[in-house]
């Protein structure tokens, strides 16, 4: 196969940041995707509908002229211990907020204001369940006694399983799943539960972080896992199960914040997102499954129309740049200075 044409995809999990950083990264996403679910972990976090509306306006204003009206940001709220049910209702009624993100406090970048005890959120979750507003979950426990590679599995056992029992009609997206345990959980759950899978977790296992030295640009959260888990993710992504769909978790940090004694978690993949997924699907011999994963199942889960336009990828080698401009700093993309075999036309 030398070329594939698919319905224009959406990114169901994206970090765009704000200000000049937003202006630097947004075109990468908007040239490929029609829509994206925008993560709310700004400083300060997007905790109200008014903040989400203001952030949405900043994103639209940051779109380059050529991409105006070609890209729609789908906003989210950042769940806290104190999110009032009335705020959930406002969010739903706004028509622009499509989910509420649960960050366990301390689990990842800008999660300090996140949830310290899920029981504090029961009233908000009940309102979400009633008003059909999905919960988007960073599924890792923060208990320092739990091994970093087990945080996802323990989260399933301690938090997610009880949550699905307590709120059986709450729609849940288990974000950026990284383990076969998470794949099994989602597969066995009701159709109210879905998951996003990143390109980097499909392409890499944890060896990448320690390839003849410590490689900060392969550090993200949840951290890359062993090969058996990568295989389980590939199988899920290519299985035609509509519970699994594309979410890049593209998470830009300046080079100085990554190459640091305490480097930030996050891998920037927006520069080549669909090409990276095509690479993973081709390796699995399942390019024919890419379109539904990238362009259908997410829209269906979010109860939004599928896109009408198309994109074409050619089997063509191109060199990933060494860096991109990032608000006066440098942004190192995944696979910088190496070549990819698929290129969007």
8 Å CB contact between 91 and 76? no
For Zn ion, which stretch binds (CB under 5 A), given 200-208, 247-255, 280-288, 294-302? Answer: 247-255
Separation CA 320–CA 332 (nearest Å): 10
333 binds ligand DOR (CB under 6 A): no
22 contact, one of Zn ion, ligand DOR, none, CB 5-8 Å limit per kind? none
Q: Which is nearer to ligand DOR, 8 or 138 (CB)?
A: 138
Strand order in the sheet with 35-38: 11-14, 35-38, 72-78, 97-102, 135-137, 172-174, 193-197, 244-246
Does residue 107 contact residue 142 with C-beta atoms inside 8 Å? yes
By CB under 5 A, name the one of 249, 252, 274, 313 that touches Zn ion: 249
Closest CB to Zn ion among 9 and 222? 222
Nearer to ligand DOR, 92 or 222 (CB): 222
Tokens of 249: 């978790």
Residue 15 within binding range of ligand DOR, rule CB under 6 A: yes
Tell me which residues in 251-290 interact with ligand DOR (CB under 6 A): 251, 265-266
CB 134 within 8 A of CB 98: yes
- Which residue, 118 or 136, has its beta carbon nearer to ligand DOR? 136
| Residue 221 binds which entry of Zn ion, ligand DOR, none, CB below 5-8 Å type-dependent | ligand DOR
Three-state SS letters, 248-271: CCECCCCHHHHCCCCCCCCCCCHH
Mark the segment that binds Zn ion (CB under 5 A) among 178-186, 249-257, 306-314, 323-331.
Answer: 249-257
138 binds ligand DOR (CB under 6 A): yes
| Distance separating alpha carbons of residues 14 and 68, to the nearest angstrom | 19
User: Which CA distances in Å does 235 have to 184, 240, 297?
Assistant: 11, 9, 16
Least separation, in Å, of the C-beta of 16 and ligand DOR?
A: 10
Classify residue 64 by its DSSP letter.
-
154 binds ligand DOR per the rule CB under 6 A = no
Residues 6+ apart with CB under 8 A from 306: 7, 295, 296, 299, 300
| 220: contact with ligand DOR by CB under 6 A | yes
Nearer to ligand DOR, 7 or 108 (CB): 108
How many CB atoms neighbour CB 268 within 10 A? 26
Question: 109 is in the binding site of which of Zn ion, ligand DOR, none (Cβ under 5 to 8 A by kind)?
Answer: ligand DOR
> Residues 81-88: contacts with CB within 8 Å, 24+ apart?
81/115, 81/116, 81/117, 81/120, 81/121, 82/120, 83/47, 83/121, 83/124, 84/123, 84/124, 85/123, 85/124, 85/126, 85/127, 87/47, 87/48, 87/49, 87/124, 88/124, 88/127, 88/128, 88/131, 88/133
**Residue 152 makes contact with Zn ion by CB under 5 A:** no
Residue in 41, 80, 83, 179 binding ligand DOR, rule: CB under 6 A: 41
Instruction: Please state the separation of Cα 228 from the chain's center in Å.
Output: 21
Q: Which does 265 bind (CB under 5 to 8 A by kind): Zn ion, ligand DOR, none?
A: ligand DOR
Candidates 21, 109, 248, 307; binder of ligand DOR (CB under 6 A) is 109
300 is catalytic: no
> Which lies closer to ligand DOR via its Cβ, residue 4 or residue 233?
233
248 binds, among Zn ion, ligand DOR, none (CB under 5 to 8 A by kind): none
- Least separation, in Å, of the C-beta of 241 and ligand DOR? 24
Where along the sequence are the contacts to ligand DOR (CB under 6 A)? 15, 41, 108-109, 138, 220-221, 251, 265-266
| Catalytic residue set | 249
């Amino acid at each position: 196969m030398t070329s594939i044409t698919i319905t224009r995809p959406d990114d169901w999990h994206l970090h765009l940041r704000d200000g000049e950083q937003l202006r630097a990264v947004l075109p990468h996403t908007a040239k490929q995707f029609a829509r994206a679910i925008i993560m709310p972990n700004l400083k300060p976090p997007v905790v109200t509908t008014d903040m989400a509306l203001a952030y949405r306006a900043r994103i639209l204003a940051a779109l380059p002229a050529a991409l105006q009206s070609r890209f729609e940001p789908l906003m989210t709220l950042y769940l806290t211990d104190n999110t009032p049910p009335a705020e959930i209702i406002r969010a739903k009624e706004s028509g622009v907020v499509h989910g509420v993100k649960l960050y366990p406090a301390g689990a990842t970048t800008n999660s300090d204001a996140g949830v310290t005890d899920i029981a504090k959120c029961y009233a908000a979750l009940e309102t979400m369940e009633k008003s059909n507003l999905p919960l988007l979950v960073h599924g890792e426990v923060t208990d320092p006694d739990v091994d970093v590679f087990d945080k996802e599995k323990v989260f399933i056992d301690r938090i997610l399983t009880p949550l699905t029992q307590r709120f059986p009609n709450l729609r849940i997206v288990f974000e950026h799943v990284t383990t076969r345990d998470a794949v099994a959980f989602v597969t066995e759950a009701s159709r109210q539960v879905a998951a996003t899978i990143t390109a980097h977790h499909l392409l890499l296992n944890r060896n990448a972080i320690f390839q003849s030295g410590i490689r900060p640009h392969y550090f993200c959260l949840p951290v890359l896992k062993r090969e058996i888990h990568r295989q389980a993710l590939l199988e899920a992504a290519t299985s035609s199960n509509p519970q699994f769909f594309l979410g890049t978790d593209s998470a830009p940090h300046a080079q100085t914040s990554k190459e640091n004694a305490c480097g930030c978690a996050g891998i920037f993949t927006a520069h080549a997102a669909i090409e990276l997924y095509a690479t993973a699907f081709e390796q699995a011999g399942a390019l024919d499954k890419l379109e539904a994963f990238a362009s259908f199942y997410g829209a269906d889960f979010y109860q939004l129309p599928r896109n009408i336009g198309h994109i074409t990828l050619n089997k063509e080698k191109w060199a990933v740049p060494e860096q991109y401009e990032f608000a006066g700093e440098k942004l190192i993309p995944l696979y910088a200075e190496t070549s990819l075999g698929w290129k969007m036309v």
